[in-house]
Every structure is written in C-alpha cells, then in structure tokens.
C-alpha cells in the first residue's frame, strides 16, 4: 500500500478546522447590547442594574486595565428556532486561549442570579434545549478587563501588574454577542474528529491502529458534503463509529479523571479579582453538572468557598446541592493551597484545621487527602501533619517541573521526618489542567513510573491557574476515551475512589523519605522579602497573643478570650500563605496589599497581647517570655537602658536586673563578653570570631561577607535562581564607616555603613550582649538594585558532612557534598529560623528573623582544613511580574551562634523571633504550662476552639531524638486527652501531677487539658 499519511492528515486537518468547526453554530442573530463602565473597583449587581447604559456596537474597544464594564444584552429567540438547541455566544475580544488572565465575564439574569461565566474556551450560555420560539432573553453581564500579564512569555517588565501604574487604555475589542443554534450533530462530529486525530498522531507509525484510524478519516472526508456540513454530518459519524467503538486493550492503563479548576487565590491578579473568579468558575461547574450526571469536580481551598458563600449566595446554594448529589468533591482540607515550604509548623496545622472544619461544618464532608498540585516543593513535615489532621492521601503535580532529575515515582509512600508515611500520587499526565488530549493521554502512559506494580493514575481535568474549569468538550472527550483502543481508559471518579483503588493494588509501593524538593523556583525562598517578613512576624505574634490571652483567660477575672478576633487574624495570615503570595511570585498589586495587611495584623495582634497582659494587673514592671525556653538575656527597659534578666519559658518575671558572669568590653573594633571575641575588619567584615569557651577560631575567612550577585534566571524571574548566578558577583568591601555606637557592660555594638550599586545603602549594627555567645547583625537596607541577589556569607572552619535546617516541627539534614545530580541540584534551599553545621564536638548556627533561602557549600583549603560556608539570601531584585519587587527599605536581623548544638539553635531561633516583652504588670501567675524534660518543645498554647474552656497545647520533639518529660500546668488539672489537630480526642493522656510525655524523634503531640471545676 502506498504511504499517503501526509496527504490524508493534511486533508483532515484543513477540512476539520476550516469547514466543520465553523459549522457548529448553524444560525445566529445578534443581541442588542448596551454598556456601562463601572467607576473604580467592582460594584454590586444592584448598583449595576440601576446604572444608566449607553448603546454599544461590536468591534468597539472596551475595558481599561483592571476595570469592570457591565453589558446589558437583550434578544429574542426566533420562532423558527423552536425545538432546537439555542445558546448565547459571547466573545469579549479574547486574546488567547487561556481563561485565567484576560477578559472574563459573569452572566446574570435580571433578578441578579448568576447564570454562567464566559471565557475564551467556554463562550456559550445555554438558553433552551429545546428552545421556545419567541422567548425574550435579558442578561446583565459583568465583564472584567484584566490585563494579560503573561503576554510575550514574561519577556519584559510590565506596568500592568498594579492598578496604580496600569493606565486606562482599553485592552479588548468586543467581537460577538449572538443568539445561536448549536448543531449538535456537527458539534459531535467535531469532537469525534478531535479525539481520533489526536489518538492517531500519537500512535507509533508501526501501529496498525494508527493506519486504521487514518483511512477511516479519509473515507469520512469522502462522505462529507462540503456544501452541506450539517446535512452530511450524521453519515460522516457513521463512517467513524466503528473505529470509535473498538475497545481498549485489557491491559490498558486507567486514567481516573477528576474535574478541577485550579484557581490561584492571587497571582497575576489581586485577591479581589479571585473572589470574582470563584463565582465565574463555580457557576460554570454547577452548570456543567446539570448537563452531565457522571461529572465529578474536586475543589480545594476553603477560603474560596467562604468568598462565594459571603458574596454569591445563589452560587453557594448550587454548590451545596452539587455536593449532596455527589458531583462536587471538597478536597485538600486546607484554608488555601499554601506554599509547601515557608509557612511555620503551627501555620500548616492551622491550614489543615480551618480547612477541614469548614468542609465538615458546611457540607458534612471530612476530606481525606491533601490536594496541593502547584506548590514549589514540599516540607518533610507534611506526612505527619496530614495524618494528624485525619488525612489518608497526598496529591501534588509540581515536582514534574524538576530542572535536573526526574522524580522516580508516581505512586509511592512518602515518609516524613518523624517516620509517618502517607500514600502519595503524582499524576504522570504532568498537568493539573488536563483536557484529555491525545498528547496528554500518550504522556500519561509513557511517563508512568509504576508499570508492573500499579495500573492507574489520576488526571485533574479542566482549565486552571486563573480558573475556568472543565468544559463540556472535555467531558465529551472523556466519554469517547472511556474504552477506546490505543488509548488509556478514562473513568471520571472521585479522588478518594482513585486513591482507594491505587492503594489496594499497590500496597507495597516504594517509599520516598524526606522533603520533596523542587529543582526549580528556588528564588521563591527570597523574593518579596517584606511579604515573607510579614508572614514570619505574624506567625510569632499570633503565638504571643494566644499564649497571653490564655493566661489572662485563666487568671484575670472579667477577661474574655478573643476567639473571633484570633480566628479572623489566623485566616488572614493563612490566606497570604497561598503559593503565589508568600513565595513572592505575584504582581505588584498583590504584594502591596499583602504588606499593608500584615501591618494591620501586627497592629491588631499587638493590641490583643497588650490587652491580655494588662488584664493581669498593673503597678509594676515585668518581663514576658513567649518562647518555650527559659531565657537569661539583655532587654531594653522603658527608658532604653539595657537590663539583664532571667525569665521562665512561657512565663514572666519581675524586671529585677541580674548580673551576667562577665561584662562586655569594647576595644577599638573588638567586642568581647568572655564567651566570644569578635573583631571587625576595616572593610566592615568579620576579621575574627574567637570562641573563648572552646578556645578556637570560628571563621576560616572573612565573615559576614556581603556578596552582590548578578541574578538573571533563564525564565521565571521572581521564581527562579539559576546556578549561574554564582559565576558573577561583587564583594562589598568598601565600608564608608565602622563606628562604635554602644559601649555598655551589657551591650557592645559597632555600626558598619556601606553604599553600593545603583544608590543602595546598607547599615549593619554588629551587637554582642552580656551572657550570650550570639552575635547579632541588625540590618537596614535601602535597596535599589535590579536583577541582583545579595547574600551574607559565613565561611566556618568546620568539616561538616551535612547541614541541618529548621523546618516545621523539626529539622532536615542535607549533604554538603555534590556527589550526585540530586545533591548538586540543591544549590539553594529553604529553612526557617536557623541553619546548623557541625563536626564531632563543635557546631555553629546561623539564625534569622525573616529570611528563608540559603546555601551551604564546602571547600578544602591549602592547609588541608575544610571551610563550610553558610550564605543567607537576604534580598533579590527580580523585575517580572513586579518590576519594582523588593525596592526600598528592609529591616531585619540575622545572627551567628558559635559553639552551638541543635538544642541551642532551636532555643536561640525562638529567642530572636520572639523578643522579650517589658510591660506594666504588678504580678503574674505561673506559666500556663511548663515542661520538665529536654527536647520537648511547646509550640502553641491556646484555649480550645469549641469555647469549652479547655486548654490546648501543641508540642513536639525538637532535637531529632527520643524525649520524655512531664508537662505541668499553672492551673488545677482535672484530666487530659491526646487529640488530633482538630482537637478531637484520640486517647487519654497519663496524668500524675502533670501529663507524662514520651515522644519519638520529631513527633508532634496535641494535648487537650481539662481544668478543675471552679478554675
């Protein structure tokens, strides 16, 4: 047989695209359209309905950036269309095929009920099937003119990312607003051809099935009447029916399709726009559920449900009905799809608590899995926290983006730092926006790593990132692929069903231990430093407010615990941990608002804490310690004078200054407190840090070396730092001044000032305090660089085989060598409050109060010694998507802690992030809780969320070993329960003068403490 593949394939492509697709709508009549441009921010339906509308013609420009235009569309179904399938078709002037970041609209009925959204791939609104001739149609359409930030593939900075800089030039030209008749037979023919053509081209050229489909398509084109597409469509479909009816092979892979619409809670649009995106997408989804009884939609992020509940009650009611029918599956059990690395341990716990509780309360559904497809790596603390919240499975997708190494599994057991394992799946289709294309189905099968062990994988389908969701065309593809030779079998089902089947067939799936590190998007540990600092400060201020509010509620008559305020503030912080806000990868508008929101949170939490402390009584001065460790430390009194005090963990003490063992001396550029001696060089770097206790020099070279690197990644500016950043840099060695600024027996400080680059200025105050080996670098940067990253390096004279970095409820070890591509790819990593390096007998920690990104490298010197360098990433200057990212003032502190073990790093990490509070108080009760026993660390103290008055304490083992201790209370204890994260009892705790605690390495334990009556 002659090879005619090219002729046939090109013939089918042209006829399909140029003749069949245009014939899907067989008749149209235009709507009459009027328009009203809403001033400023979006308005309510009621305000829009009462506005004055002006006539509007097609092909007219509309929509300033971030504007809202309301269109009134009126029309009448022609009498001759009665009994046919009639739809409204609206094209706002869409500029690409991505629904998420451009013009979008929500269609309302005259009474205000949202009907359905329109976007580039979902332009129709159903009117009647069958339609009634003469029916009057009246719509009010809320159209958002969101700019296309992704235009030109992020090639250049754009001012469109903030309403303050975007201008007012119209972005779109309205193309179409019609009543139209859908020719269902032509529409189905179009879908038949799509599925067969895509299957054909992804089958091997040696496959008989490919040639069978090809010749069937050629015969079908012979039957098609190009002058009467509608009239001949049925005959064409009959030719294709046999090849569409051929069943899949018995061994064919099964793809479990789950409807999805990934909606970033903010990204290339502000939060206010996400609120509208949810209404559009959820309207589409509930409309699709009415058309397809076998449709199932999985949706995460309780925050987005709450927005819909509060702003779109009609859509909310439709969601509730879809949940009851089993077509809508709440998943994920988190408040938002948070970043997977940066939120603190307690914050991830609260993500799971607030998310799961929302779904239980409003739908009677307890979610079983963590649905987190698009975060930029995943902490090794997740398996334990997920299981403690009652989850059975974990799903993500993003690891498929790895730059260097292909992750070796798609279905596996993920083991966390404490040993907890959770059943985990990465969809091999490599997208969470699947549409069941031939290419996707081919990739899912080829890519699947578990062949021979498992036979199924999951595919979230529907347009996403900016919403949109599944379409009827995708559902039709799924139906055709349910049992089709040459393709995997597609079944639409609930994700819980998929995970149950996958686990049942592959119980002995392989195990992956430790973090799921994404070999890409490493700059998200550093970009938008003020957003990250706001998160860190908020997490610690929430801890402080809860602790002292609990103390006041237990001991201050008349004080009322602020349940509602704390709930609201936690949810605000959780929202901003979304995986494009906290990582710093959103537009300028998002981060501008985030910084303002964090400032409001800080102010309100400060007021709550002050109110709680004041309730304990005034008339004296006390020092309050929110840290879980006892502290002997220098504080500033009300008049600014330093004082050395000792304060118990989670408690307070009178401001009764004590004497440290040795005062601080300042001699020239040398600070000495009897524990460490620090010498500042003329260039402002550390010339020496000598540990007087260990009698050894800590540094192998200049310490606190500030290095300015060129930082232009290959593509995603705010997201990525590529390895070549290391190749070009400038060391900042030109200090304009090195000055002693404090010389006191309790504090010695030297200030270093620098100017560099494009007008940037940096001031650091190097401080040594009595009684502590910790050296603080209080830093202020007025930053005006572009495409640069600033790092602070500490070359330490230690041969460390690995570094340890704090993560949620513990720490993780990473090798300092680069033996394999897996280690080499970790050239920039994340950590929380501290990084620790050690050799047997000696260690050093680098501590911070707001940074996350760092790197640890190791070199061997000519003298044979080893230098292990810890470098903190302080601030970046990406220009896309926010051209002014990180510009301006930054204030933060990081510290060097010589002679530190892990336990010292943990304690000082808390201390730096939880400053002692000096306040007016005559007296204070014993700490709410205290712990006898090393390694048992209290993370949270609060009243139970059910307002029962029980005290909830969350603690964990922090050193990486086993720990035993006794938790004692500052109030009469009636009983105790071990609970899950949602404070639901699991088993009684042993109470004997306190609560006996026995923890495995890094175990998290939640205790619910019942107070004795009358307390």
- Give me the active site residues, please: 374
| Maximum separation of any 2 CA atoms in the chain, in Å | 102
Half-sphere exposure of residue 263, counting CA atoms within 13 Å on the CB side? 32
DSSP state of 988: E
**Structure tokens belonging to residue 335:** 């408040």
For residues 255 and 498, give the distance between their C-alpha atoms in angstroms, rounded to a whole number. Answer: 9
In three-state secondary structure terms, 395 is: strand
In three-state secondary structure terms, 412 is: strand
End-to-end CA distance of the chain: 92
Closest among 625, 294, 288, 305 to 472, alpha carbons compared: 288
For residues 807 and 812, give the distance between their C-alpha atoms in angstroms, rounded to a whole number. Answer: 7
Peptide bond into 881 cis (omega under 30): yes
Instruction: Count Cβ atoms within 10 A of the Cβ of residue 903 and give its class: 0-12 exposed, 13-18 middle, 19 or more buried.
Output: middle
For residues 388 and 383, give the distance between their C-alpha atoms in angstroms, rounded to a whole number. Answer: 9
Query: CB count, 10 Å around CB of 178?
Result: 19
DSSP state of 23: G
Instruction: Name the helix (H) or strand (E) containing 424.
Output: strand 421-425
Residues found in the chain: 1015
Query: Which residue has tokens 């709550």?
Result: 608
DSSP assignment of 454-480: B-EEEEEESB-BB--B--HHHHHHHHH
**Structure tokens belonging to residue 411:** 């279905």
For residues 956 and 998, give the distance between their C-alpha atoms in angstroms, rounded to a whole number. Answer: 10
Q: Do 796 and 856 contact (CB within 8 A), yes or no? A: no
**Structure tokens belonging to residue 31:** 């709507």
**Structure tokens belonging to residue 515:** 């973090």
In three-state secondary structure terms, 310 is: helix
In three-state secondary structure terms, 685 is: coil
Query: What separation in angstroms does the CA of 422 have from each of 376, 541, 954, 958?
Result: 19, 32, 21, 22
Q: Do 613 and 545 contact (CB within 8 A), yes or no? A: no
For residues 135 and 79, give the distance between their C-alpha atoms in angstroms, rounded to a whole number. Answer: 8
Q: Do 371 and 337 contact (CB within 8 A), yes or no? A: yes
DSSP state of 16: I
Peptide bond into 116 cis (omega under 30): no
Displacement of CA 346 from its chain's centroid (Å):
15
For residues 577-605, b (16+ Cβ closer than 10 Å) or e, as one string?
A: bbbbbbbbbbbbbbbbbbeebbeebeebb
For residues 258-290, b (16+ Cβ closer than 10 Å) or e, as one string?
A: bbbbbbbbbbbbbbebbbbbbbbbbbbbbbbbe
For residues 273 and 276, give the distance between their C-alpha atoms in angstroms, rounded to a whole number. Answer: 5
Starting at the edge strand found earlier in the chain, the sheet holding 32-38 runs 54-55, 32-38, 67-76, 136-145, 103-108, 114-118
Closest among 705, 869, 897 to 803, alpha carbons compared: 869
């Amino acid at each position: 047989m002659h090879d005619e593949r090219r002729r046939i394939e090109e013939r089918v492509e042209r006829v399909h695209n140029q003749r069949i697709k245009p014939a899907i709508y067989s008749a149209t009549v235009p709507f009459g359209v009027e328009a009203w441009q809403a001033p400023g921010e979006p308005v309510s339906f009621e305000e829009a309905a009462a506005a004055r509308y002006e006539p509007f013609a097609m092909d007219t420009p509309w929509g300033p950036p971030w504007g809202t235009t309301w269109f009134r569309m009126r029309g009448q179904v022609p009498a001759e269309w009665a009994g046919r399938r009639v739809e409204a078709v609206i094209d706002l002037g869409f500029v690409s095929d991505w629904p998420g970041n451009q013009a979008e609209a929500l269609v309302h009925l005259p009474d205000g009920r949202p009907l359905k959204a329109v976007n580039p791939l979902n332009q129709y609104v159903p009117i009647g099937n069958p339609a009634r001739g003469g029916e009057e149609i009246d719509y009010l359409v809320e159209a958002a003119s969101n700019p296309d930030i992704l235009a030109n593939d992020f090639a250049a900075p754009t001012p469109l990312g903030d309403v303050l800089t975007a201008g007012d030039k119209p972005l779109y030209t309205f193309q179409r607003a019609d009543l139209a008749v859908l020719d269902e037979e032509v529409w189905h023919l179009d879908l038949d051809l799509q599925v067969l053509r895509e299957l054909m081209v992804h089958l091997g050229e040696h496959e008989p099935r490919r040639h069978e489909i090809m010749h069937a398509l050629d015969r079908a084109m012979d039957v098609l009447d190009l002058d009467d597409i509608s009239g001949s469509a049925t005959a064409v479909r009959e030719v294709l029916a046999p090849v569409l009816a051929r069943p899949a092979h018995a061994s064919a892979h099964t793809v479990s399709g789950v409807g999805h619409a990934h909606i970033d809670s903010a990204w290339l649009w502000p939060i206010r726009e996400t609120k509208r995106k949810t209404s559009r997408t959820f309207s589409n989804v509930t409309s699709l559920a009415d058309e397809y009884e076998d449709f199932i939609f999985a949706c995460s992020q309780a925050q987005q449900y709450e927005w819909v509940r509060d702003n779109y009650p009609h859509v909310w009611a439709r969601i509730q009905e879809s949940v009851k029918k089993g077509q809508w599956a709440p998943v994920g059990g988190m408040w938002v799809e948070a970043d997977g690395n940066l939120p603190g341990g307690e914050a991830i716990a609260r993500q799971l608590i607030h998310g799961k509780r929302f779904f239980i309360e409003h739908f009677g559904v307890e979610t079983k899995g963590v649905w987190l497809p698009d975060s930029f790596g995943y902490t090794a603390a997740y398996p334990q926290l997920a299981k403690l919240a009652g989850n059975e499975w974990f799903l993500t997708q993003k690891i498929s983006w790895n730059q260097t190494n292909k992750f070796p599994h798609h279905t596996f057991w993920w083991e966390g730092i404490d040993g907890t394992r959770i059943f985990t799946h990465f969809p091999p289709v490599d997208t969470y926006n699947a549409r069941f294309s031939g290419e996707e189905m081919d990739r899912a099968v080829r890519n699947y790593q578990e062949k021979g062990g498992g036979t199924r994988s999951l595919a979230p389908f529907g347009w996403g990132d900016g919403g949109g969701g599944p379409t009827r065309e995708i559902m039709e593809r799924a139906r055709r692929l349910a049992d089709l030779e040459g393709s995997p079998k597609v079944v639409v089902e609930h994700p819980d069903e998929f995970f149950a089947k996958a686990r049942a067939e592959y119980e002995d799936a392989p195990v992956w231990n430790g973090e799921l590190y994404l070999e890409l998007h490493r700059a998200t540990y550093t970009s938008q430093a003020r957003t990250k600092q706001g998160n860190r400060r908020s997490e610690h201020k929430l801890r402080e407010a809860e602790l002292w509010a609990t103390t006041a509620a237990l001991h201050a008559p008349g004080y009322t615990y602020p349940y509602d305020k704390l709930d609201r503030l936690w949810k605000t912080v959780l929202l901003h941990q979304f995986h494009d806000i906290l990582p710093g990868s959103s537009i300028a508008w998002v981060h501008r608002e985030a910084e303002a929101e964090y400032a409001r949170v800080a102010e309100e939490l400060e007021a709550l804490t002050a109110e709680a402390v004041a309730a304990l009584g005034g008339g004296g001065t006390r020092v309050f310690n929110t840290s879980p460790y006892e502290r002997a430390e220098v504080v500033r009194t009300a008049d600014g004078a330093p004082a050395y005090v000792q304060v118990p963990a989670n408690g307070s003490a009178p401001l009764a200054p004590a004497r440290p063992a040795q005062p601080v001396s300042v001699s020239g550029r040398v600070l000495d407190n009897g524990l460490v001696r620090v010498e500042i060089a003329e260039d402002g770097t550390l010339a020496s840090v000598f540990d007087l206790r260990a009698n050894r020099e800590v540094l192998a070279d200049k310490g606190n070396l500030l290095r300015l690197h060129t930082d232009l990644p290959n593509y995603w500016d705010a997201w990525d730092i590529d390895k070549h950043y290391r190749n070009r840099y400038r060391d900042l060695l030109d200090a304009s001044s090195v000055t002693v600024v404090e010389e006191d027996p309790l504090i010695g400080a030297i200030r270093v000032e620098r100017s560099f680059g494009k007008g940037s200025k940096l001031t650091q105050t190097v401080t040594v305090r009595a009684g502590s080996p910790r050296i603080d670098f209080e830093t202020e940067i007025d930053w005006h660089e572009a495409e640069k990253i600033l790092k602070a390096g500490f070359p330490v004279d230690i041969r460390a085989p690995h570094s340890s970095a704090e993560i949620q409820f513990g720490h993780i070890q990473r090798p300092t060598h680069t033996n394999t591509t897996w280690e080499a790819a970790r050239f920039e990593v994340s950590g929380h409050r501290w990084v620790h390096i050690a050799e047997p007998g000696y260690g050093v920690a680098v501590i911070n109060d707001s940074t996350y990104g760092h790197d640890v490298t190791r070199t061997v010197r000519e003298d044979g010694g080893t230098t292990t360098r810890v470098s903190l990433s302080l601030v970046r200057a990406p220009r896309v998507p926010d051209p002014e990212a990180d510009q301006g003032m930054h204030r933060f502190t990081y510290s060097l802690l010589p002679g530190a073990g892990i336990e010292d790093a943990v304690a000082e990490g808390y201390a730096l992030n939880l400053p002692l509070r000096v306040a007016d108080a005559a007296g204070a009760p014993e700490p709410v809780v205290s712990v006898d026993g090393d390694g048992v660390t209290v993370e949270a103290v609060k009243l139970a969320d059910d307002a029962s008055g029980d005290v909830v304490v969350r603690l964990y083992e922090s050193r990486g070993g086993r720990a035993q201790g006794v938790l004692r209370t500052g109030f009469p204890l009636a009983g105790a329960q071990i609970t899950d994260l949602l404070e639901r009892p699991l088993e009684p705790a042993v109470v004997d003068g306190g609560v006996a605690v026995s923890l495995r390495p890094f175990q998290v334990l939640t205790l619910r403490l019942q107070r004795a009556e009358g307390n």
